[in-house]
Structure 1
């Protein structure tokens, strides 16, 4: 039987998603918990790998097993073996043809940025930070230049394993929450797929533009350069959240994971 799970986690304590010899990754913790609950080795695949310090509101994984349990039991039983900062949200049997990565129609992230004269304290590790006031209109003008299908090599990490740097950016929405110099910015991204560090590298450029250190037109120059050397330094992982992939409703997943259902919404740091 093939099962899909929706997972939420705070990535502060982990070396990213993908399993590593240290064992300090989200995948390592999830597979250990699943294996204990199922009483057999469980190996998972995920919809989108996240870096160290990056969070997820709706990571989707799938795995094959001969263990027979009710969906609610997979949720509660697995959670009983997981650390407090990782939790299964739902479990759903799926056809053998379902693949959490290949079946995804789109993927979404949000970057949460605190604009404040002083660094975050209570939200440390869960939001990015700009000490300077940001110009939202300038950032939106720059972001518009990234929409559509482009070669995103300028925003690609050297360790990226993607076969092609060409991706389709479908949406970037920038919103400000609060009217004083102390406020929060949400930058939402949607694309068919993302390159390694792509969003953090774009954020580095957007913040530089928002702070007035570059003009919005600079973003087009960076994009067309197709060189990582042209872009700003990689921005902090702290405020990055994987909102999750979206699938066709025909797979029978919960509404928060489907195109028709609108997907999981971001409602503030967990």
Structure 2
């Protein structure tokens, strides 16, 4: 049986059409598979913990690959980072048991969504944040988010196009924080849970921004959750603010 390797990777998703290989499109999966083939001569299929959308970033994406290569984890780590495009980096490579599956073995994930909350639009971070010019009440957002913590049916927070057998998920923590000093325009929303539906974090953030703008209140968020109806929740926040921070196994 071929050895199985677990890769922890980061990437800037700005110029990628998402994770999954697509014809004539630049994807993260395609970049890793092409680079692996250059190094080992093998055409492999790599599996990720999450299939991120176009424009979404990662600091802790986890990838699994079975390979007949005779290179060890350290050699693969060095070779991958030498040949991968500049917007993908391998943070670690380790050999794991053959029953490891990057998707199915994951028991938790942590996402961070970054909002640039200032009348002046961002320059250097424009591909990494959602620019919201209207001042947000981050304390109201933080307090309202507690309604979503726990095990619930999150059908109201799933976009069409990737329906799952169950829309029940558990969120263990949500934090909304504003930076201080020179970082005062930066608002970060951290969401941690055992799994996420399609666009779930982005819809949560879009809904919290409605509350931060004083257009909605906590009671509305609770009602939207209970409704199990996508039309009752807020907008889907744009992709560039989202980053997969960590995957737990």
Residues 107, 195 of structure 2: 8 Å contact kept = no
| Structure 1 Cα separation of the partners of residues 50 and 183 of structure 2 | 34
State the 4+ residue runs in structure 1 displaced beyond 6 angstroms.
none
Residue in 2 that maps onto 1:41: 43
Counterpart position of 1:157: 159
C-alpha distance in 2 between matches for 1:180 and 1:78: 36
Matched, 1:236 2:234: no
Task: Tell me the alpha carbon deviations over residues 206-234 of structure 1, each in whole angstroms, 9 at most, x when there is no partner.
Answer: 00100111112111011111111111221
Per the alignment, residue 126 of structure 2 pairs with 124
State the 1:167 CA deviation: 0.4
Name the CA shift for 1:76/1:181 in 2 (closer, same or farther; >3 Å). Answer: closer
Q: Does 1:190 align with 2:192?
A: yes
Consecutive unaligned residues of structure 2, counting only runs of 5 or more, are none
TM-score by length of 1: 0.88
8 Å Cα contact 1:108-1:188 kept in structure 2? yes
TM norm structure 2:
0.95
Write out aligned runs for 1:212-227 (5 A). 212-227=214-229
* 1:105 partnered with 2:97: no
Which residue of 13, 16, 36 corresponds with 1:14?
A: 16
CA contact (8 A) 1:33 1:79 kept: no
Whether contact under 8 Å (1:157, 1:197) holds in the other structure is yes
The alpha carbon displacement at 1:153 in A equals 0.8
2:90 maps to which residue?
88
Tell me how large the CA RMSD over aligned residues is: 1.4
CA contact 1:133–1:181 (8 Å) conserved in 2: no
Q: Distance in 1 between matches of 2:164 and 2:36?
A: 29
Residues 12 and 54 of structure 1 are in contact (CA less than 8 Å); yes or no, is this contact kept in structure 2? yes
